[in-house]
Amino acid sequence: EYEVLYKPDDSNAALAEQSMRVLLIGTRKQLNNNLVERFRDNGSEPFLLETKTVSLLRQVGLGETDPTTMIVQIGASAMTIAVVHRGELSFVLSYPEAGDFMTKALVTCFSLSEENAESYKSTYGLLPDQADGKIFNALKPVAEMLVGNIRNAASFYASKTNNQARIEQVIL
């Protein structure tokens, strides 16, 4: 699917030099077909399918006057970083490392089951004063990797925009 975000006015010479901006989203066709089939099997006709990132951006509702914002979504199997500038999605990057890496770190460090590791992760998280700091210390390398990826994405975005669109806020 695609959506034209901005099309310069050809009649205005100053605007005609600007580039058209198009939002292009691709998904695996089989995934879409499976989702539509599930809805239909339950007696529903889907009206719209959208990616998690687009859905999240719609829910956050950033507009043209809002500051340039980085939205970081850390899920179980992926971390998605999206930047919205002047109300438009201008950059998306997805990393396969995310919450599962934290769970695996706890499984490895403490020989826990995945279920117990999830529970520890939820209960103690990255709080250094909990559980004698053991959970924090096990999760810290993974958290640092995720933060490094976020910083790299911010640097890449800055270079892509020639440092003209500075990220002013981050939503986790």
Q: Has residue 16 got a pLDDT over 80?
A: no
pLDDT tens digit sequence for 44-87: 998 888 888 888 888 888 989 999 999 999 988 889 999 999 88
What pLDDT was estimated at residue 53?
84
First to last CA, the chain: 27
CB 154 within 8 A of CB 167: yes
DSSP string covering 90-125: EEEEEES-SHHHHHHHHHHHH---HHHHHHHHHHHT
- Please compute the mean of the pLDDT values over residues 93-111 and round it to a whole number: 90
